[in-house]
């Protein structure tokens, strides 16, 4: 079977080349949006890559300066996004036509050439070369283990631009025997993560990331914008835009910190999967603002790309009733939850409601993927005092001192 890994590598890009990459990304995103709009034009949403290729390839080639493989990659992005929307409709969920805004660009072996110290990338106006910015010591890094290893083949990459940095997420793969001991130990533990308004993120290990600072600055920036809007002048309009940039910058710093700590939490507890609730309709479920929804999506994106170098998968699960279901006995009732307090009406289990939801999210992923026959299936949701399996069984850590005490710590009773 194939074993795949993604290694993020920072690039050193000069200003002229950066402008070319930005233009290429703009045209790539435009192409993906163009194909998506075409897919939604008919009575039914078109998800076939072949049909979309036949209908849109010529138009996109005429209207952009993209390499032919970039056109095909944009079409694939659009087709996959449309297929995801259709799947959500089939499940009775609401979903709208996708729109591509995150600055990224897909590369394959025709549009990118990977060298030892640099990469050559196709743009809308020829190729540019960018040096890798690598760790001082290559030993014991994902770069040495996967990217520079003779055992792994480089299959492509995805270029991302964020916070002034160009990051190339390089995809590598190798073939492994299906009965290797490495595979048997992979995907052993899942970390469940609940998202909310009062607490931005809550892990099944009992770690909370409060939303107090986020809410404070959101209100502060809203007040500043309101003050400028009352002026109605061009100067005020320019200052409103400046406030927006400062707000986004501050929130990105906060979300980067939380995402770093979430990834560290997963690594510390030897988790190979981080499970989030499905972010679709999260505003309706949680009463979150547009700002919170933006933060949830951005946090998920940050965790997703930061875990790539450690081989940790990031998934989303159906959030239905995760806040009402008892993680101890499974009894589900709206009255189990009262604000931030959870008390099961059936078995009496009590804990913080968001922590209970985080455990349920982990359990839902576990049950969805459990094979029941060894192999590589996840075997437990990581708590702060052991693991919980799909059948509700609790296993204490081998070292009792590793169980962290605290207000959300669990006893073996669960």
DSSP summary character for residue 378: -
Q: Is 362 in contact with 276 (CB distance < 8 Å)?
A: no
Q: How many CB atoms lie within 10 A of CB 257?
A: 12
Mean pLDDT across the chain: 78
Residues of the chain with pLDDT under 70: 1-3, 136-147, 176-188, 211-250, 281-292, 370-379, 384-414
**CA end-to-end distance (rounded Å), the chain:** 38
Tell me the three state secondary structure of residue 34. Answer: helix
Q: What integer pLDDT is reported at residue 388 of this predicted model?
A: 64
Q: Compute φ and ψ for 406, nearest 5 degrees.
A: 155, 180
DSSP string, 268-279: HTT-SEEEEE--
């Amino acid at each position: 079977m194939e074993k795949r890994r993604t290694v993020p590598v920072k690039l050193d890009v000069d200003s002229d080349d950066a402008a070319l990459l930005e233009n290429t990304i703009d045209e790539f995103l435009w192409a993906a949006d163009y194909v998506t709009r075409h897919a939604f034009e008919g009575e039914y949403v078109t998800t076939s890559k072949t049909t979309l290729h036949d209908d849109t390839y010529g138009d996109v080639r005429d209207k952009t300066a993209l390499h032919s493989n970039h056109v095909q990659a944009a079409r694939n992005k659009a087709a996959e996004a449309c297929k995801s929307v259709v799947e959500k409709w089939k499940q009775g969920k609401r979903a709208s036509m996708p729109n591509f805004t995150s600055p990224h660009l897909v590369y394959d072996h025709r549009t990118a050439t990977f060298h030892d110290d640099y990469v050559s990338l196709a743009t809308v106006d020829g190729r540019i070369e960018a040096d890798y910015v690598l760790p001082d010591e290559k030993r014991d890094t994902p770069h040495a283990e996967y990217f520079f290893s003779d055992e792994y083949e480089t299959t492509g990459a995805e270029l991302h631009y964020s916070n002034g940095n160009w990051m190339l997420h390089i995809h590598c793969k190798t073939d492994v025997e299906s009965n290797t001991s490495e595979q048997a130990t992979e995907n052993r533990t899942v970390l469940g993560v609940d998202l909310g308004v009062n607490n931005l993120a809550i892990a099944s290990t009992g770690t909370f990331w409060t939303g107090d600072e986020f809410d404070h600055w959101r209100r502060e920036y809203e007040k500043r914008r309101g003050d400028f809007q009352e002026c109605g002048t061009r100067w005020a309009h320019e200052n409103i835009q400046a406030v927006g940039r400062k707000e986004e910058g501050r929130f990105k710093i906060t979300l980067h910190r939380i995402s770093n700590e979430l990834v560290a939490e997963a690594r510390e507890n030897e988790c190979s999967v981080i499970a989030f609730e499905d972010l679709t309709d999260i505003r309706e479920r949680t009463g979150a603002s547009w700002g919170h929804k933006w933060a949830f999506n951005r946090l998920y994106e940050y965790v997703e790309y930061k875990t790539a170098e450690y081989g940790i998968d990031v998934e989303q699960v159906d959030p239905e009733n995760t806040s009402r279901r008892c993680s101890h006995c499974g009894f589900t009732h709206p009255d189990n939850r009262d604000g931030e307090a959870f008390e099961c009406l059936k078995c009496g289990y009590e804990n913080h409601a968001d922590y209970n939801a985080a455990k349920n999210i982990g359990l839902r992923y576990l049950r969805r993927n459990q094979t029941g026959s060894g192999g590589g299936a996840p075997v437990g949701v990581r708590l702060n005092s052991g693991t919980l399996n799909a059948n509700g069984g609790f296993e204490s850590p081998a070292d009792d001192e590793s169980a962290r005490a605290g207000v959300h710590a669990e006893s073996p009773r669960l």
